[in-house]
Every structure is written in structure tokens, then in C-alpha cells.
Amino acid sequence: MWCLMPRDKVTAGFFRIQMLIVLGLSVLAMLTMGQLSDASGERLSGQMLFSARVAAGIGIAFGYVGSIAWLLDQRKVGTAAMVGILVATLASLICSRGGLAWLASPNGGFHFLSNIATASVLGGAVTGMLLGHWYLTAPTMSIDPLKTLCWYFALAIVLRFVVSAIGAMTAGHSLHGGVQWTWFALRWLAGIFGPMVISIMAIRILRYRNTQAATGVLFAGVILSFIGEMSAALLSTELRVPL
């Protein structure tokens, strides 16, 4: 979402904090990568695990450089660091799932699209919520970036809806038992329909330039999105189909 949102109307301090968040999440990812499995469910090979960790390490380096760049208000360097983080993250994701051979397969490509949809929904919700909080620090800042992020969040939910619908049609017959149907209901009610309503509410609230109310609504959207994506992750682990 950073690479898409209008950055010229947002003060540099916001992006510096985002870079620090990236540093923390990237370190967490490196520490937990040893527990990952590839698309077939097998533990990652040493080479793929090493490549995924190297890519994550490069993302950490870009995050550190970006934090300094935004601290000094060097926007071109900071934007380049954002692009670097995006590329490094995608490379780490591909390596953590088995490499280019996985991505080139139809099943792998569909899983990759699902991962992108998940990242877009969570990124739109979290970035929008944090930007909304930033207006408490910079109250005179234009609300156009927040409006744009809310629209991107809505589009990300549409993408997630399409991918999840295809997954549900593919694996719907595999659902059995009350537990799986409960996760499935949470996935759709909390993870798709809930955020869809939230995005519409936020867009309409911003017509009245009420950033605090929109931020509160987006905070609820963050919670619902995480509930939905965690439910989908549990189902996908069992059914091997992104939902």
C-alpha cells in the first residue's frame, strides 16, 4: 500500500514509523521461518530456507535505510527503500513456498495470488488505521491520502472476495464437521463481508472530514481482517486450498 498511496501529502514521520514496524516484523519472520513448510506440506529445504532468510535480511536492510531516509525527509531515497522492501518481501515469500517452480504451477500461482490478496487486505486495513492515528500528530494534513487508502482497502477486499470464492468452489465439498464450517463462516463473515462494510463506512465518514471516527472504524476493520485471515489460514492448512 505504501507504493500505491499518495505520499507527497503525508509527513515524513509517518513513513519513518512504518519502516521501524517493518524492521520488527522482518526480524520476527526470520526467527519463525524454520517452522515453515513448502506447498506440499514438507519442511523447507535448507537452500530454500536460506534464500528466504537472505531475502528477508535484505528487506531488513532496506527498512533500516528507509527509516534514516524518512527521518532526514529524503523522500526519493525513502521511496526507493519502499520498493526494495516490496521486492525483497515477494522474493522471500516465493522462496518460502518452494521457489519459482512452485510459482510457475497453476496451483502455486493461485496460492501466490491468494497471498497477495491477503497482504493487500491486511496492509490496507493496518496502514489506513495507522495513518488515521497520524492525524492526531499532524491535524492539518490533507485527508486525501486516507481517502485513497480506504478505496484501496475496498479494492483489496474485492480481490480477496474473488480469490476466496474460487477457493470455496474448489474445496467446498471437502468441508466437513462443525469446526471447519465455523472457521469457514468466520472467514467470510469477519474476513470479507465485515471489512467490506467497514471500508464503505470509512469512505462515507471521510466525506464529513471526520478522521477520528474513520480511524475507529478502520481499527475494527483491522480486527475483523485478522480474524478472517487466521480462520482462512487454519482451513488452508487442512484443505490445501486458499480460502
16-46 pLDDT, tens digit each: 999 999 888 888 887 777 665 555 555 566 7
Q: Can you say whether the dihedral through the CA atoms of 166, 169, 174, 177 is positive or negative?
A: positive
Alpha-carbon distances of 155 from 158, 161, 174, 204, rounded to whole Å: 5, 10, 29, 15
Ranges of each domain in the chain: 1-104, 105-243
Q: For 48-104, how does the pLDDT look when each residue is reduced to its tens digit (9 = 90+)?
A: 778 888 888 999 999 999 999 999 999 999 999 999 999 999 998 888 777 788 788
Distance CA 44, CA 54 (A): 14
Amino acid at 108: G
Distance CA 37, CA 15 (A): 33
pLDDT score recorded for residue 62: 93
Q: For 176-216, how does the pLDDT look when each residue is reduced to its tens digit (9 = 90+)?
A: 777 888 888 999 999 999 999 999 999 999 999 899 999 99
The pTM of the full predicted model, rounded to 2 decimals, is 0.90
